[in-house]
Structure 1
Amino acid sequence: MDEMEYTELRAKLESLEAEQKEVERVLAAKRDQRKAELISEFKQRIKDEGFTVGEVADAFAGRRNSRRSGGARSYPRYVDNADSNFVYVRGPLPGWMKERMTAVGLNPADKGDRERYKQDYMHPES
């Protein structure tokens, strides 16, 4: 290679870089194909053994009892005393609950006030 000219070396380098990109592209495609094959094989093996994919996925993720494996969590449902059509389960407060809290002088942003509102103005659904 020492006897090659600068332009020849530059052309050789560009050719090798192009070849490298093509090899990387083909390798990535082969990797994706092999991954899909393995997933298919694993899913079939899991089903053959009598498990669900969710059960095994939960085990790999370190979850013991998630919704996917049939252990759905149960959260208390609070029904508004004034109107049983208004129900709060968890998460962001619905607009009606914010309005009613503010109307009775409670701050919807304060956890203590939210708990106080649920205790005084709502009841757990039976």
Structure 2
Amino acid sequence: MGTFEHLDIDELHQQRQEIEQQQAEIERLLKRKLKEAKGDFVRELRAQIEAQGYEVADIASQLLGRKRGAATAPTGSYYVDPDDPDNTYKRGAIPRWLKDKMAAMGFDPDSRAQRDAFKAEHLTFVAG
């Protein structure tokens, strides 16, 4: 600490203020870079999950330790693929089979209006 011994009180206050400003800038940069790194990691992880053919929501629920329900019949209203009754959709994330089928028939799975039209025209509604 000998480098500050020759400074008077005003100079010491000035040095402290400069150091505090530098520290605030470092904290701001660190926070931003950590957020960017986290975003990059999430994008890489999402791409890797999808490349393996898994649904991100399914993997996330396993990572979070949520217990999956017992294999029972779905409750409430849902949609069934008439070509494959094992393919059902209730709500939430759009399953891969539904996205693929919509795309194959020229529908945009990201468009809510087109999803609703597709469900009305190509899926069977089952009231629960």
**Larger-Rg structure:** 1
Q: Give the unaligned 5+ runs of structure 1.
A: 76-124
Is 1:39–2:42 an aligned residue pair? yes
Tell me by how many angstroms 1:4 deviates.
Answer: 0.9
What residue in structure 2 maps to residue 30 of structure 1?
A: 33
- Matched residue, 1:13: 16
Relative contact order, CA 8 A, sep 6+: which one is greater?
Answer: 2
Q: Percent identity?
A: 25
Matches of 1:44 and 1:73 in 2, distance apart?
Answer: 29
- Relative to structure 1, the CA distance from residue 72 to residue 20 in structure 2 (aligned partners, 3 Å threshold; closer, same or farther) is farther
Q: What is the DSSP-based 3-state SS (H/G/I as helix, E as strand, rest coil) of the residue aligned with 2:66?
A: coil
SS in structure 2 opposite 1:13?
Answer: helix
Unaligned runs of 5+ residues in structure 2 are 77-126
Q: Give 1:10's aligned amino acid.
A: H
Give the structure 1 partner of residue 75 of structure 2. Answer: 74
| Runs ≥4 residues deviating over 4 A | none
Tell me the number of residue pairs that the alignment of Structure 1 and Structure 2 aligns: 73
Q: Structure 1 residues 37 and 47, CA, compared in 2 at 3 Å: closer, same or farther?
A: same
Partner letter of residue 22 of structure 2?
E
Deviation, structure 1 residue 74: 2.3
TM-score w.r.t. length of structure 1 = 0.52
